[in-house]
Amino acid sequence: MRSILRTLLLVLVCLRTAPALAQAEAALPSSPQSTTEVVPPGSPPAQQPFSGWEFGATGETIFEHTRAGLRDPHFGMRLYRDQAVPGTLNTIANPVPGSDALAAEPNGQHTFWDVSFGESMPVFTWFNVNPQRARYARGFQFNLDAGAFMLLDFGSQSAGVIDTDFRVGGSFDFRPWWDGWEHLSLKVGFFHESTHLGDEYVLSAATIQGVAPPTANATLPYRANPSYEGLPVTLSVDIPFGESHVSARVYGGAEAYFWSALPNGTYPSEWRVGGELRWTSFDGENVNRVVPDDAPLADRLEANVLRRSTGVHRDQVTAVRANHVRRRRGAFTVEGAYELLAKRRYDHVGIEPGGAVFASADGFWYVQHATVLGLYNLDTERSSSNAVGLSLDWIRGRSPFGQLTEYTHVDALALGVSYYW
């Protein structure tokens, strides 16, 4: 007890004396090492050694987001028109007893809202920066991964929620720090995914009259519990084209499912391949550019957009240390991306309607996703990935949602918006 009290007393003394020491240090003349170096435009950035470890987000990316990955945790949403999911109840006017058949009839295309919330959130990072690389850092990173994915059908009863998936887990990102090897990056994760067909989709048309208790959707008599644990591994290769604005990336990976009620645990339960082609502007004089207040409106707007991309405001000092550590991104990026996703098939072998009895099947269900994405890069002085984007997407194949993959296809063009940390 006496030693504990002594320790607490020592901590209190340090806390009380720290502000005084800081004030005394601030009063001393600044040494050359402590000043912010102003590097002339065009000067080569100095090599940054290993910065050691950091808790939380460092602003440096070890493994980049996959732009065409439909179910990687991220913030985004898409709107598209497509045929209704089989078994969906359509919106009808003045429903009365006996309207079940009318509500179940196909009535053309519906408007879908595909929404995702979540991110891969850094917890611990050890990184190093090659100053000539504008996109990524080298080292390793541990992340907490969380995501929620939801599909709404605005053409169905009560703008029904058709499916909702939840994911929670973690991942490890790695990029070699040896020169020449930093084009490789690896992501290994482990997560639990809970996937649920929406109530408005599962319940029958008896719900629209309010005169009978809900009954099972005749199209879905054998709903299973497809929740599972997953172990995904993805290897990525970055391909820079010299010092140009253009770069590319290819990646591929596989995933194993564990403890699922569905018989798709045979490895690989899921695999994917993808590629990206990117054009990225480079940071020039965005921070130091001064536009007079009486300049044409277009010039002032352009300067404001470029400056705000760096995260530096007009009343702040323009010499930012991060600007001299590496070759930074500019304000804008345009990317084209494609991914082919494959999920192992299974078949219902029980009596219909009947229990949830399934058996493994040969082959895979496939989903294709191609996107053209325009990005406005944010806080480029401190982050190599923070951005908001608008996209035009093409999705074709089986639905990527949980057990919904078994019931429906997607073939649509979509408009999307995304946000990346």
Using 70 as the pLDDT threshold, list the residues of the chain that sit under it: 1-51, 134, 204-216, 221-222, 284-290, 312-326, 352-354
Helices (H), 1-137: 2-27, 100-104
- Nearest Cα to Cα of residue 343 among 270, 261, 272: 270
Give the pLDDT of residue 325: 57
Beta strands (DSSP E) in 180-262 are 184-197, 228-240, 246-258
What backbone torsions phi and psi does residue 84 show, to the nearest 5 degrees? -65, 150
Give the pLDDT of residue 221: 65
Give the pLDDT of residue 48: 45
Give the pLDDT of residue 345: 94
Residue listed under structure tokens 């035009």: 392
pLDDT digits 0-9 by tens, 118-160:
999 999 999 888 777 767 889 999 999 999 999 999 998 888 8
Show Cβ contacts of residue 123 under 8 Å, excluding neighbours closer than 6 positions: 55, 56, 142, 143, 144
Beta strands (DSSP E) in 100-242 are 109-128, 138-153, 161-175, 184-197, 228-240
Question: What's the residue count for the chain?
Answer: 421
pTM given for the model: 0.82
SS3 of residue 278 by DSSP: strand
Give the pLDDT of residue 19: 42
Give the pLDDT of residue 131: 73
Instruction: Output the DSSP codes for 68-87.
Output: T-TTSS-EEEEEEEEEPPTT
The whole-angstrom separation of Cα 153 and Cα 89 is 10
Question: How distant, in Å, are the alpha carbons of 19, 136, 284 from that of 131?
Answer: 35, 10, 15
Residue 162, both tokens: 């058709």
Residue listed under structure tokens 């050694």: 49
Give the pLDDT of residue 211: 63
CA geometry: angle at 301 spanning 300 and 304, to 5°?
Answer: 85
SS3 of residue 135 by DSSP: coil
Give the pLDDT of residue 383: 83
